[in-house]
Structure 1
Amino acid sequence: MTAPEARWERRLEKLWASFDDHGPDDFLRRIETLAAELPPGDAVALYELASAHDALDREEEAAALYRRALAAGPPGGRRRRAVIQLASTLRNLGRAEESITLLTTERETHSDGLDDAVAAFLSLALVDAGREREAAALALTALVPHLPEYGRSLTHYTRALTAGEHT
């Protein structure tokens, strides 16, 4: 990352940290100003604009911007965050099945430190789609690595959940 990019990222981080100190229109204007410093159609700018709209409960605008950001190819962790956030936004818009498809594909094709976030948002979408047992099993499976003393038991119980057995 170049020095100007690092300075821009610090300014962005500072703005997000002060989110609650701004009214919705003021915050969006500030994000738009920062995004305008990047080239038109820049994936990072589009992602940050989408995130701002999302944070301000402007889901329709956010979804369109996330799609544009993903098409432009955001670098590094922003790509996966864009997928997670788009899927969450789609779920909020009542499009749980589309969210499930996105997150299932993401879960099957990528792995990193955001795996648990993918599982968490996929669990929420599954609940919205009426697949509560599958959602609970997925969420519990994501917990297994964090609970080593109970991993074997939880693994057994989650298998029973997805098999439709009483645990």
Structure 2
Amino acid sequence: MATEEWQARCAALWDRLDDVDRDDFVQAMKDLAAECDPGDPVALFEVGGAHDSTGYTEAAVGYYERAVAAGLSGVRRRRVSIQMASSLRETGDPERALAILAEERGRGSDEYDGAVAMCEALTLAKLGRDREGLAVALIALAPTLPRYQRSTVNYARALIGEAPR
């Protein structure tokens, strides 16, 4: 099980990502994960992230899938959906990425809503659905604007042929 001490060492390893050879980083994360049970969802998630962050995107997907199957929960569950969808988008399965993001949106709302929208917008663009992607991005941006929130959402909806509200 990933203890608080283990998670602190994991965070310290992530802090060194830019200072370590990518293969050494992945191996260090695997070594750290080996201290946990083989099916520990947090350890699987972290190894997947290590692969993803170092350019081994295809390998990351398998770790992410195993982490979800092992019961990954909390904020990491939200993050794995974003990261896996991004990986799938980049490795040739953007339709599956959209499905994962749609499922994730249905799980609720939190501080990662913007990241979900960002990933969805990029995935739609990858599929040649740029106007839909722009609409998703604008709708996500609207709440952060000091004014023009309603107008921004209406303009975004118009991009995809929806009537203003």
Q: TM-score, normalised by structure 1?
A: 0.92
**Matched-pair identity in %:** 45
Segments of structure 2 that go 5 or more residues without pairing to the other structure are none
**Which residue is equivalent to 2:136?**
138
The one-letter amino acid paired with 2:145 is L
The number of residues matched between the two structures is: 163
- Cα RMSD of the aligned pairs, angstroms, is 1.7
Segments of structure 1 that go 5 or more residues without pairing to the other structure are none
After TM superposition, the structure 1 = structure 2 runs for residues 11-30 of structure 1, keeping only pairs within 5 Å, are: 11-30=9-28
Deviates more, 1:15-24 or 1:4-13: 4-13
CA distances 1:6-44 after superposition (whole Å, capped 9, x unpaired): 211111111101101110121111101110111111101
CA distance in structure 1 between the aligned counterparts of 2:25 and 2:128, rounded to whole angstroms: 36
**Residue 77 of structure 1 is aligned with which of 75, 78, 82?**
75
Structure 1 or 2: more helix by fraction: 1
Moved over 6 A (4+): none
**Which residue is equivalent to 2:49?**
51
CA distance in structure 1 between the aligned counterparts of 2:79 and 2:103, rounded to whole angstroms: 14
CA distance in structure 2 between the aligned counterparts of 1:97 and 1:76, rounded to whole angstroms: 25
CA distance in structure 2 between the aligned counterparts of 1:28 and 1:134, rounded to whole angstroms: 36
After TM superposition, the structure 1 = structure 2 runs for residues 145-156 of structure 1, keeping only pairs within 5 Å, are: 145-156=143-154
